[in-house]
Amino acid sequence: MAIERVTVIGAGDMGHGIAELFAVSGYSVTLMDKFPQALERAQGRIAASLDKLAEKGRITKEQSEGAKSRIAYSSDMGKAVSAADLVVEAVPESVELKKAVLGEVSASAPAGAIFASNTSNIRISDLAEATDRPERTVGMHFFNPPMLMKLVEVIPGKKTDPAVVQGVVDACAKLGRTAVRVLKDSPGFIVNRINAADTLFFCLLLDRGVASPAEIDTFARGQGLPMGPYELLDFVGVDVGADSLAYFASALSPEYGRGTTFARMVKEGRLGKKADRGFYDWSSGRAEIPKVEATDKVSIMDIFALEINESVKLLEEGVGTPDDIEKGVVLGMNRPFGPISVAKDLSNAEVKAKLEELSAKYDCSLFAPARSIVEGKLRDAIEGRLAAAPGQRAAAASVEGAGPTRTEGAIRLERLEGGVARVVIARPRLNLINGEVLDGLDGIVTELWSDPGVRVVLVTGEGGVFSAGFEMTKFVSNAAGMMEFARKGERTMRRLSEIPKITIAVLKGYALGGGLELALSCDLRLATEDVELRFPELTRGLVPAWSGTQRLSRLVGLSRASSMILACESVRGRRAYEIGLVNQVVQAGDIDEQAVKYATGLAASEAPVAVMLAKKLLNKGTEVPTDVGLEMEEMAAGVLFGTEDLKEGISAFLGKRKPEFKGK
């Protein structure tokens, strides 16, 4: 779908910038506006911008002059669109005005033309109703200023032809822009839907007199943002923020209409930079922001929680993918990171508690946790697992605070209460380990590695057996293949041993060969009295090759390890405890149930950062000289001295209460 000739309707801030971008990228452009003075002003702004780009060396003088020559200016709609392949509507954000413009375009444009709206909020399906070809109508949302911002949201309406969407995506690539495809036509699309919750929040802060704009902006700049929210709103236009909230109130939820300050400012003519006054005085061309202390009444977590919440809602509604939401916020809001990456470092409980606090404090149900967060599925949402996928199963947990259960290959991950996750080998009767099990285990280790909501990981088997080892029925063609399979298993076991959580193997029935090696890769081992632990490899003509020969001797000494490996000695639970192979023997009852209680206690009492560093010292200490290990200890102690958890641990000890560690 070739696009060569582009018409941009509307010569304002966005329209003239979009026209300039297309012209610089080699397109033939007509900029149309019914007001001649608007066209004259736009022509001057485009020329000045192109000259400045050439002066800075971003484009050549020839490119600058070429772009100028490719732009025509017209106040006649019929002539402007008569030969267009793509018409981009960039008039003010009014449903009625945009529909009127698109209807007029539809009457004059060629049959094959694509109609694109630069709307920042309005449903494309609603706008497409004004045309005679909704299948060729699409959203093409640029960000201000178009010459600098690298994102374009591409939004199909309900009837848009996929080929039209692809044609616009291809055009974005030629413009040097990143196109984010919005999957479902919804008000605000991705970026502005997330930003709308922030906008309402900052309006309510002023409504409630929480702090002044300058105090809040000072706080925001202290967090590394280039502009505070009120300076940015002044720059964009207070009326834009007010109109946005009004549209969302009518199209999505009345809750968006709860704020009053912005609408009042619009009535007073305090529109921001365009009117020389808004929250600040702009008469000098820049915001005159009073020098004040940053407020302590707002936290960065307030903003993070709101943006994560809106992101989860978009994921629940199928509007975008986690990757596109992250990309959209980073590029569209000019941020170093987006809400998806932030959410990966927070627990479901933290986000849920903050949202409940904000909802109650501002009496705003819009801030209440999204369904997935209420159900403990934040991690599933941000990792794209809300819907069932091949090889996966997601179901809500039956208890508050617990997460979903899912299966990866032959491994099941269960998120339990109290910061505990359980990894289950699900291949009854014997839970044999093959390549599929290793792949599933490796994927789950990756998932849990940075999950702040999980502090202790239980590893067990389905039913009454931990694992009877490597599945011998699998065919390996040659020595190289066997070496690679051994390497794969060893690497998976090593990753499990290094995960910065406490890992506990729950030993029952049999733990043989590769199953025992899996158990040895965990930090702790709980066992029934009658469990059988054995390495039978030598009787099969093999050796333990998933780190068994190395880990066992370090745990029980060379002599006992030799008996178990060279003589294939079988060790039961009680004897395993006596020689230091297991840490605790469960005498009666359900060992899986008792293991959960034990793990929950550890999760509540152990500081996560201290656990991570202690594991590194234990795992690496045997690999280095003693003096190096002692240096590592000293450094770890120094790191922990600056943590909030250390302060909490000491405070809890002195106050004779249980600590509430945050992993910070």
Burial of 368 per CB tally in 10 Å (0-12, 13-18, 19+): middle
Four-point Cα dihedral 514, 516, 522, 528, nearest 10: 150
| Residue 65 annotated as catalytic | no
Look up residue 294 and give its two tokens.
Answer: 């940053």
Active site residue: 537, 593, 606, 648, which one? 537
Count other Cβ atoms within 10 Å, centred on residue 481: 11
Q: How far apart are CA 454 and CA 442, in angstroms?
A: 16
Q: How far apart are CA 426 and CA 138, in angstroms?
A: 47
3-state secondary structure of 561: helix
Q: φ, ψ for residue 420 (rounded to 5)?
A: -115, 135
The 532-534 sheet, strands edge to edge: 510-512, 532-534, 571-572
Query: Bridge-partner residues for 114, per DSSP?
Result: 86
Place of tokens 């017209």: 74
Look up residue 56 and give its two tokens.
Answer: 């800075």
- What letter would DSSP give residue 364? -
Look up residue 99 and give its two tokens.
Answer: 């529909």
- What letter would DSSP give residue 298? -
- What letter would DSSP give residue 664? -
3-state secondary structure of 184: coil
Q: What angle do CA 611, 620, 447 make, to 5 degrees?
A: 50
Q: How far apart are CA 402 and CA 348, in angstroms?
A: 9
Q: How far apart are CA 125 and CA 142, in angstroms?
A: 18
CB neighbours of 569 closer than 8 A, spacing ≥ 6?
A: 534, 563
Select from 388, 352, 356, 354 the least CA-distant residue to 372: 352
Residues 376, 404: contact at Cβ < 8 Å? yes
Residues 30, 14: contact at Cβ < 8 Å? no
Q: Could you tell me how far CA 99 lies from the centroid of its own chain?
A: 35
Select from 429, 437, 420 the least CA-distant residue to 466: 429
| Residue 317 annotated as catalytic | no
Q: Could you tell me how far CA 100 lies from the centroid of its own chain?
A: 38
Q: How far apart are CA 363 and CA 368, in angstroms?
A: 10
CB neighbours of 344 closer than 8 A, spacing ≥ 6?
A: 382, 450, 451
The 137-142 sheet, strands edge to edge: 71-74, 28-32, 5-9, 86-89, 114-117, 137-142, 151-156, 178-181
Active site residue: 375, 414, 517, 606, which one? 517
Q: Could you tell me how far CA 459 lies from the centroid of its own chain?
A: 27
Q: What angle do CA 498, 384, 316 make, to 5 degrees?
A: 140
3-state secondary structure of 328: helix
Look up residue 410 and give its two tokens.
Answer: 């032959």
CB neighbours of 447 closer than 8 A, spacing ≥ 6?
A: 379, 383, 413
Q: What angle do CA 597, 603, 604 make, to 5 degrees?
A: 95
CB neighbours of 525 closer than 8 A, spacing ≥ 6?
A: 504, 505, 507, 519, 576, 581, 582, 583, 584
Going by their DSSP bridges, the two strands 532-534 and 411-415 should be labelled as unpaired
Which residues are part of the catalytic machinery? 517, 537
